[in-house]
Amino acid sequence: MTAQIPDTFFFKGEAYVLIGKEGGELAFPRQFGMEPEMLHTACYRGFYATYELTEDGLYLRELTFREQNDNYLPIGGIEPVLEEYQTTYHDLGVMILFTGKIRLAKDFIDELYVHMGYQKPMGLGQCWT
């Protein structure tokens, strides 16, 4: 099975994954002047991110992707760490002005697996919020 790599959110020291959202946009390489391309079969959109949710707001902490023109620009003064097939920006502190709803989950639930996709936000007659 090849599930897509989800975005990760840290909240009160615990890691969760994004399984759904409504409303605004989260971070995207285009907003920093870069165009992502597919990394591999587990990352068709070409990027994945790590966020931290605090009482002060939502922050982008890490962004991993492949830029289609190898045009890696600094983000918030942070230079990327280049790897063989991708690059990662560590220790970011970019506030994300998100308005809407996000649905997070802990752990992977095999019954909710979507081939070549992301884990479903609900299943088995239950909804997790």
Query: pLDDT digits over 11-29, tens only?
Result: 999 999 888 888 888 999 9
Domain range for 46 is 8-127
Determine, yes or no, domain membership for 2: no
Q: How many domains does the chain have?
A: 1
Determine, yes or no, domain membership for 30: yes
pLDDT tens per residue, range 74-93? 999 999 999 888 999 999 99
Retrieve residue 30's tokens: 């285009």
CA-CA distance, 102 to 18, in Å (whole number)? 7
User: Which pTM value belongs to this model?
Assistant: 0.81
Determine, yes or no, domain membership for 88: yes
Determine, yes or no, domain membership for 3: no
Determine, yes or no, domain membership for 64: yes
Determine, yes or no, domain membership for 85: yes
